[in-house]
Structure 1
Amino acid sequence: MTLTLFPIRLLFAAFMMLLAWPFAFVASLGSAEKEPEQPLALWRKVVDLLLKAIMRTMWFAGGFHRVTVKGRQALPTEAAILTLAPHSSYFDAIPVTMTMSSIVMKAESRDIPIWGTLIKYIRPVFVSRSDQDSRRKTVEEIKRRAQSNGQWPQIMIFPEGTCTNRTCLITFKPGAFIPGVPVQPVVLRYPNKLDTITWTWQGPGALEILWLTLCQFHNQVEIEFLPVYHPSEEEKRSPALYASNVRRIMAEALGVSVTDYTFEDCQLALAEGQLRLPSDTCLLEFARLVRGLGLKPEKLEKDLDKYSESAKLKKGQKIDLAEFAAYLEVPISDTLEGMFSLFDESGSGKMDLREYVIALSVVCRPSKTLDTIQLAFKMYASQEDGCINERDLSCILKTAVGVAELPVADLFSAIDEDEKGRISFADFTRFADMYPDFAEEYLYPDQARFESCTQTPSAPTLNGLCTDFSPESTDPGGKPLHRKLD
């Protein structure tokens, strides 16, 4: 198939995109922010039909000979937002091209030759990573369009915020549910005998997925439109609750379970760095509880030095729950108690504040391993020589990866070449520069590769549909709590 079917399909798909480009270019002229005219002009309706036909022909040539559609797509006046799940591949663009609905995409996508023109035609909501207020503006734009009484095209949103393997639904981001308007859930299925569709951080890359799929003689996809979901007054006040209830209905329709993992948890677990998180790390639970307290890691990063100075003044003196609440300036709650229990190693009702700061540093900047270690050295090092002992290093590294036990004796001995029984941060960085893979060799030598819940992608995600645009969920979920050293 690689020598016969694949090149024919690839060339034909490229030809169909080129054929669609002039129609999309003419139809997308003018201001993208201008409200569409209603009803649509006859020529725009003709262009819309032509583009749908061209795109459907392209998918047909790619092996998607029959697209099974179940249920009825609601009118824009009935549901301004379509929520699709699970999101597992760039082939999820099939329902987008079939409905010509608007989507949320990275602003950079508009500059991609040919593809950018086709994208602009569906009047997407663009997200700019360079604009700090981009998320807020995006949510406001979604709300404006959703409340336009059908003037704008329907917005198609993948609320998971990233690609998964379809075995469960991860936590929905609340962006699609903030407007508080009815949404229509849409579920996707790929009932192929051989799965060449799924594109996640673990497994084949984007180009390999394209190659494997185009080599399949026949590919199947099912799109099911579920009944429109009308939110209650409570759900309108709580987008996280609204998102959770819609996710439950979609999971039941798919026959899969749900998980409390979020897009941010994936970013944390898959972050590049010299200390990769193991599958049994408690830092994912810690990150969830941080969000549950209403604290946003990206805003806490600038305060890490202030937190570390406060923790350093304690000189290892442990604090109780009330003192911890005062330190965070939050009321005592079940969520706070759950977080406190992560650091209450012996169940004595006391915790070391320095461990909280280390864990927070990892959550705020998961890829910057040495920055977290440096922060920890400042808190643990003695004022006399600025060094730490083996016990301190053990505590720092165990907290940084969120595990109960971690062998550091060999690592400490390798760093402490002079056998002084103490090491400085300069010693640590010098060793880390010489042996960038020190964690694999010294901390978990039995593992050729540090396994996490998934693997880090070799390159940034190319799929604009995976854009992370909505504010963080403040729903801490119902995940069971575990002490760090249980």
Structure 2
Amino acid sequence: MSSASSRKDRLKRAESLIHPEIRNPFVHELNLTTTDKIRIALMSVTVAPIRLLLVLVLILVDCLLANIAIAGLTQQQLESEPLKGWRRMLLHPLCWIGRFQFFIMGFHYVTIKGQRASGEEAPICVISPHTSFFDIMIVFVLGLTSSSCVSREENQNAPLLGTLVRVLQPVSVSRTDPNSRQSTVREIIKRSQPGSKWPQILIFPEGTCANRTCLISFKPGAFYPGLPVQPVALRYKTKPDTVIWTWKGPNVLTCVWLTFCNFNNEVEVEFLPVYKPNEEEKKDAKLFARNVRGVIAKALDLPVTDHTFEDCRLMMEASKFGLPMEAGIVEFQKIIVKLGLKLSDIKEQLPKYAAIANSKGYISIEDFAEYLKLPVSPALEEVFAMYDRDGSGKIDFREYVIGCSLVSKPAKTEETITMAFKLFGGEKGYITKVELVQILKNAFTMKDEGAEELFNQIDVNKTGQITYDQFKAYADEKPEYASLFNIYQELTNSETTKTDSNVNNSKDKTD
């Protein structure tokens, strides 16, 4: 077996980087039956409008009470200590109204299982999965005076509802500002310390909404304090599932209206036993987060994946280049751990991938050949197979990122490029068109016209000769060539070795 074949097999056996069982947790397809459609039509002209009107009226009452509760307080004061005195008393009617609102929306049955731990036993409640804006309901179910939460910074600036968010005095987090995340962690640590005046913190550690088919990566913010946490499993039992609101699927208004059109929306909140970290978990917040996620996943009987909010950002970036949104899904947490890449590194690969992928968001062998201006040949097929990790006959963006890191970039060394330049006839300091055409024809069965076109692309100065600097610049732009150079060299060496062996065998027989 050749070294190239061994390398291909070894890469395919790298189980830590194979495709995840759950391909895209950020897509929700709502399949409505004929019965569902009839029910929605009837409810849309009867009950749903009344529900909407009542909810809007109660929101106005909520906003009035919230404005009174925080009147005269600066943002700094709201962040420094919990509300006290008469301001705190106003949280009780706000909580009652909030619960009534959800009842009006159709959430008639909210079942509580297990025993909620006190703030002294577990200063942080970790709730999962996070699948909808309806999840805020749990704050009202558990009580505004005994719960605080973590919320996006942008939510506090939302028209009308921003006041309701501010009165909850959440720990603010910005998902785009790295400095904000550090401040958030410090605030969580401060609020969760023994003797703190702040109530128990409720955290959805996934940091974004998914489709409830799995548990994605937990962000470590809730686990940095190294204190006991209470895992909480959240189940919606509504069929069809109109509650899920994630990155690709029904929008906010659709989710709200279809949920209003359900006869009943059933929710179950299960408090699991308090999880006390061991010494290793106290020192490693990511390990602590993974283990708590495992506990909740087991209770819900769901698989876990290493998708994160960064995958969502890549989905958005992919759509900018005309790719399907799901093309950006790479299981980001696993990629950065195994390959040491950053989000910026992966984003840089998207435009190049988009330029190659002409087959419905994937790269076929024909797309690969067109990009490299080469015909489909055994050498090209071998390189393609190194990228095509699942043997599907097409390369998705995740496989491309892995391939660039494990196949092309390691092969693209100065030594490889120098070797290839000499191989193409560059010992004299340049390569002529005849030399390049002949080598490409022999190595990759490339036709003369295609080889000449490739020569003209590299010969940017139109001198009829390719210098080493021009050759290297083109190889840097398309690092996939480096793998082809290596394979061609291996094949050449193999042929040379075979020839030498035959010569020696003939000589031995003659002797």
TM-score range, shorter chain: 0.5 to 0.7
What does residue 166 of structure 1 align with? Answer: 212
Q: Post-superposition shift, 1:366?
A: 6.0
Corresponding position of 1:196: 242
Which of these residues, 166, 175, 200, is aligned with residue 120 of structure 1? 166
- One-letter code aligned to 1:194: P
Alpha carbons of 1:267 and 1:391: their partners in 2 closer, same or farther (altered >3 Å)? Answer: farther
Larger radius of gyration: 2
Letter in 1 for 2:56: A
Contact 2:311 2:332 (8 Å CA) reproduced = no
> Are 2:349 and 1:389 aligned?
no
Determine which structure has greater relative contact order: mean sequence separation of CA pairs < 8 Å that are 6+ residues apart, divided by chain length: 1
> How high is the TM-score relative to the length of structure 2?
0.58
Task: Label 1:116 to 1:367 Cα distance change in 2 as closer, same or farther (>3 A).
Answer: farther
Equivalent residue number for residue 59 of structure 1: 102
Alpha-carbon distance in 1 for matches of 2:166, 2:192: 19
Query: Does the aligned pair in 1 maintain the 2:322–2:354 contact within 8 Å?
Result: no
Counterpart secondary structure, 1:76: coil
Compared CA separation, residues 226 and 398, structure 1 to 2 (3 A)? same
Q: Where does structure 2 lack aligned partners over 5 or more consecutive residues?
A: 1-42, 357-370, 396-445, 461-511
Counterpart code for 1:58? Q
Offset at residue 8 of structure 1 (A): 1.0
SS in 2 for 1:257: coil
1:148 CA drift (Å): 5.2
Are positions 1:14 and 2:56 aligned together? yes
Contact 1:171 1:260 in 2 (8 A): yes
What amino acid is the match of 2:342? Answer: P
Relative to total residues, which structure has the larger helix share, 1 or 2? 2
Match of 1:244 among 290, 314, 320: 290
Counterpart AA for 1:7: P
Equivalent residue number for residue 91 of structure 2? 48
Residue equivalent to 1:432: none
* 8 Å Cα contact 1:389/1:422 also seen in 2: no
Instruction: Work out which of the residue numbers 66, 73, 78 in structure 2 matches 1:24.
Output: 66
CA contact (8 A) 2:230 2:273 kept: yes
Deviations 1:158-186 (A, max 9, x none): 11222222222122121111111111111
Tell me if structure 1 keeps the 8 A contact 2:230–2:272. yes
Show the 5 A alignment for 1:437-452: none
What CA distance in whole angstroms lies between the structure 1 residues aligned with 2:349 and 2:194?
A: 40
1:145 corresponds to 2:187: no
Q: 1:367 to 1:96 in 2, by over 3 A?
A: farther
Q: Secondary structure at the match of 1:258?
A: coil
**Whole-angstrom CA distance in 2 between matches of 1:367 and 1:155:** 38
CA deviation after TM superposition for structure 1 residue 14, in Å: 0.9
Name the stretch that deviates more: 103-112 or 181-190: 103-112
Q: Which residue of 2 aligns with 1:420?
A: 453
Amino acid of the structure 2 residue aligned with 1:25: N
- Report the RMSD for the aligned CA atoms in angstroms: 3.7
Contact kept? 2:207, 2:219, Cα under 8 Å: yes
Q: Percent identity?
A: 42
1:297 alignment partner in structure 2: 342
Alignment check: 8 A CA contact 2:69 2:88 kept: no
Partners in 1 of 2:457 and 2:312 — Cα distance?
32
Superposition pairs of residues 397-476 of structure 1, within 5 angstroms: 405-406=393-394, 420-421=453-454
Q: Secondary structure at the match of 2:453?
A: coil
**Aligned equivalents of 1:148 and 1:174: distance in 2?**
20
CA distance in 2, matches of 1:229, 1:74: 11
**Alignment CA distance shift 1:43-1:397 (3 Å):** farther
User: 1:147 Cα shift?
Assistant: 1.5
Q: What TM-score, normalized by structure 1, do the two folds share?
A: 0.61
Q: Any conservation in 1 of the 2:188–2:225 contact (CA below 8 Å)?
A: yes
